[in-house]
Amino acid sequence: MRIRNHHQRAIDRLADAYRDDPEFLGLIIGGSVAKGYARDDSDVDFIIIATDEAFERRLAARDLFINRTDLCDYDGGFVDGKIVNLAYLKNVAEKGNEPSRAAFQGAFAAYSHVADLDALLQRIPVYPETGHDERIKAFYGMAFIQNWLFHEADRHGNRYTMTRAASQLALFAGRLILAHNRRLFPYHKWLPRTLEAVADKPDDLMERFNDLLEKPSRDHATALFELVRDFRDWGVSDLDAYTWFMTDVEWSWLSGTTPMEDW
């Protein structure tokens, strides 16, 4: 990965600004710069590790962000960071959801006063094997339901529901293929790019994915869903999908389970 010179200068200045501050224990560079996705005008995203005392004080004051333009020497440049403590990083490594883990893909320490921080960072962006089969069935079931819902909304001329169902169908068809490849869901911003990069996916997946989002229609919804449905046997019947949606989505409030979007 090559970091542009002006981004590296911003990182160096950022590290210099906080390295000797006793409130902070380490600086982690993430975002598009760390992932190798950055454009010339991209900001520098970071996570800074506060001492427990400083973190609790800032949490109480609702002061957990740092945004500065003075450390950048390029047009529109800024550094944008979140303040966490070491316990947060350990919790993400132990039980973080997929987007929280994916945020650390490519991340690296610009400076650290924490022993073994690099080893901890390596433990975070790891696909969680626990619950893999259940996620596969859930993502397929949700894609099935959203395809059905799109057609129902189109039949009734419900533009709002059509638009939402198209987005949800693209999301869960995408998440199904990511899970099949054991790739972390990077949250919505980077979903298309991550999906495009996985090796084992249906031919023309991205074309069908983009067709539906650019022009939601019955044909485009059907084309994306059937492409994913026929890619392999997902082990979910139509009745399974309907039943799962009722018991695990519509009735999720009964058990207080986490909404699917946060898996």
Partners of 67 in the beta sheet?
80
Whole-number mean pLDDT of the chain? 96
Residue type, 24: F
* Percentage of residues in the chain having pLDDT higher than 90: 95
Query: φ, ψ for residue 242 (rounded to 5)?
Result: -60, -45
Residues 13-59 have pLDDT tens digits of: 999 999 999 999 999 999 999 999 999 999 999 999 999 999 999 99
Show me where the domains of the chain are located.
5-123, 132-262
Q: For residue 155, count other CB atoms closer than 10 A to its CB.
A: 10
What is the distance between the alpha carbons of residues 27 and 111, in angstroms, rounded to a whole number? 5
pTM for the whole thing? 0.93
- 201 near 190, Cβ under 8 Å? no
Q: Is the model's pLDDT at 259 over the cut of 80?
A: no
Residues 121-132 have pLDDT tens digits of: 999 999 999 999
Write the CATH number of the domain with boundaries 5-123: 3.30.460.10
Q: What is the end-to-end Cα distance of the chain in Å, rounded?
A: 29
pLDDT at position 257: 84
Joined tokens for residue 124: 């975070």
